[in-house]
Amino acid sequence: MHTEIILDTETTGLDPEKGDRLVEIGCVELVNSVPTGRTFHAYLDPERDIPEDAVRIHGLTRDFLKGKPKFAQVASDLVSFLGESTIVIHNAEFDMKFINSELRRCERPPIAMGRVIDTLAMARRKHPGASNTLDALCARYKVDNSKRTKHGALLDAELLAEVYVELCGGRQKALVLESARKPAGPVIAQGEQSYIQTRIKELPSLVSGEEGTAHRNAIAPLGDKGLWLKYGL
């Protein structure tokens, strides 16, 4: 079982080093490339003003966010939800610098970039020279983003989950892999991802009697070391 968390954030601006803060976090859980229905979502009080440029992007005003929990109040739940899973983010460097900045504020260890997959980098490798915004990728992979009138962390994470599956080869690939893992007959030995089966009825030999005799005569000089003797021809 392979678990991944699709994560997205909204912020007050572009740089946490200049005082910008998170205002929303949205996460969607995938297991073996399929959404489980488990999500994490929180609006956050950034404890500062929100520039109009940011409000135009995500629509979250200072008045709306007053009274919402501060990051420190949801940090434990977020870290628990992420667990040890791989984290998938579009333009990961941007979101992770905010996540880790907020974690440091409440004296928690940062999340290592080594466990993060950047779908923007994936898309640029797969579609060089093309637009690889989330909207552009939704259009390319026919993912319905009609509800995305503004940026929203949970909605964007849900859309990115669908896009990510397509970037990895699509749902058809996942179905083929899943089918390949299922046994079609009696199982005599089973591992986590492999199955060994016995054939119900032995297949008839396609070698004629004359061919079998010629084969045995040809390998007779090899004695007991003749590999093909094992096949009973």
CATH number of the domain enclosing 111: 3.30.420.10
- 76 in any annotated domain: yes
Among residues 41, 58, 127, 151, the one annotated as catalytic is 151
- 231 in any annotated domain: no
Q: Which helix (H) or strand (E) holds 126?
A: helix 119-126
Q: If you write DSSP's letter for every residue of 140-207 in order, what string do you get?
A: HTT---TT-SS--HHHHHHHHHHHHHHHTT-HHHHHHHHHHTS-SS-EEEE-SS-EEE--SSPPPP--
- 50 in any annotated domain: yes
| b/e per residue 107-116 (b: at least 16 CB within 10 A) | ebeebeeeeb
- 15 in any annotated domain: yes
- 169's tokens: 């080869």
Judge whether 151 counts as a catalytic residue: yes
Segment 55-93, tens digit of pLDDT: 999 999 999 999 999 999 999 999 999 999 999 999 999
Domains in the chain: how many in total? 1
- 59 in any annotated domain: yes
Closest listed residue to residue 8, CA positions, set 168, 119, 125: 119
- 200 in any annotated domain: no
DSSP-assigned beta bridge partners for residue 8: 26
Q: Are 35 and 161 in contact (CB under 8 A)?
A: yes
How far is Cα 116 from Cα 38, in angstroms, rounded to an integer? 19
pTM: 0.73
- 185 in any annotated domain: no
| Predicted local confidence at residue 233, as pLDDT | 55
Percent of the chain with pLDDT strictly greater than 90: 70
The band of 204, judged by pLDDT with boundaries at 50, 70 and 90, is low
Is residue 8 predicted with pLDDT exceeding 70? yes
Q: Which domain holds residue 111?
A: 3-180
- 132 in any annotated domain: yes
